[in-house]
Amino acid sequence: MGSSVRGRFAPTPSGYMHIGNALSAILAWLQVRCLHGEFILRIEDLDVERFDPRYVDALMEDLKWLGVDWDEGPDVPGPYGPYRQQDRAHLYEQAFAALKAKDLLYPCFCSRKDLRTPASAPHGLTSEGPVYSGSCRYLSNQERARRAVQKPPAWRFMLPHEGMTFHDLVQGPKPFPPGAGGDFIVYRADGVFSYQLAVVVDDAKMRITHVLRGDDLLDSTPRQLYLYRALGLTPPSFAHIPMVCSASGARLAKRDNSITVRSLREQGVSPERVVGYLAWLAGLIVRPEAVRLCELIPDFDLSRVVHQPILLQKDWLETLLKGKRDVSAL
């Protein structure tokens, strides 16, 4: 019988994994392993516009190099597969139909340009554009039928009128006012299910009990909790860690090859030094020393993870490259 604790790492293979993604994977893995749980790797390749198959193998190679293993995933069959979203559309269709049957969705006929972003994992609700006004929510059936002749609609979830508060294992209590972010899309006009719906269905079907991810997704959590409630599903616990940013505070981007795990590997930096540096940035260890990932399990404590944005030092790369030559320090 499997463990009652199940966590996951669910990346989008749109480029080589950068060190911010690596930190999320490392902390999610440590959270589960210190609880003697099972760790799942799921590939979020639902949005074909962002998905590049060549990065899937690279992603798994980089994770294994860091010391991250998994009990179920694309290359490790398990009872809750498949482990790639492109193969799970039938599950999203079932959830979509259930929401429609409860009259919790409505068609939205806004422009395609406004509907492109929400299919992929958002970096906060502001990335999805301004709060939706709800104009299509109040269209008559006759008007909906008329507009449906002109263009296929997207479908939005109707937010309830009450607010939402949940307890984040890193950030503490997080209140959200009624209507935070506006009614959101669960199915795009071009036939792609949204990130919000897919991640809820996947985590529920895979019996995920612990979700640890970047705090760029913190504002999406109430939306997902509303979907859990609407579908009669049990949500996992959530922990949102600070994002790793450049020294100037800018978000990391996969197109910047210098901050990818693959680039560090190619330059001869050891996985122990990468793990140790990231663990130090996150607050798990007091100095940036080389350490194997498994050695962090006994003393792992989520309460030690820093709450403020994690800024890379300007000389972070030089520090790691120096460590390659000098075994006495990073």
Task: With residue 262 as reference, give the H or E element that holds it.
Answer: helix 261-266
Q: How far apart are CA 120 and CA 90, in angstroms?
A: 18
Q: Any binding-site annotation on 195?
A: yes
State how far the Cα of 5 lies from the Cα of 25, in Å rounded to an integer: 16
Residue 223 assigned ligand-binding role: no
12 is in an annotated binding site: yes
Residue 280's SS3 state is helix
Q: Is 108 annotated as contributing to ligand binding? A: yes
**Residue 6 annotated as part of some ligand binding site:** no
**Is 97 a known ligand-binding residue?**
no
Contact 185, 194 (CB under 8 A): yes
Determine if residue 226 is labeled as part of a ligand binding site. no
- Other beta carbons within 10 angstroms of residue 137's beta carbon come to 15
- State yes or no: 110 annotated in a binding site: yes
Residues in CB range of 215: below 8 A, 6 or more apart:
170, 171, 240, 241, 242, 243
Contact 40, 8 (CB under 8 A): yes
Q: Is 10 assigned to a binding site?
A: yes
- 9 among annotated binding-site residues: yes
Residue 271 marked in a binding site: no
| Rounded-to-10 torsion of CA 307, 313, 316, 318 | -170
Burial annotation 158-182 (CB, 10 A radius, 16+ → b, else e): bbeeeebebebbbbeebebeeeebb
- Among 35, 34, 41, 43, smallest CA distance to 8 is for 41
157 known ligand binder? no
294: annotated binding-site residue? no
**d(Cα 212, Cα 222) in Å, to the nearest integer?**
15
Binding-site residues: 8-12, 44, 108, 110, 132, 136, 195, 213, 254
Binding-site residues for Zn(2+): 108, 110, 132, 136
Binding-site residues for L-glutamate: 8-12, 44, 195, 213
Binding-site residues for ATP: 254
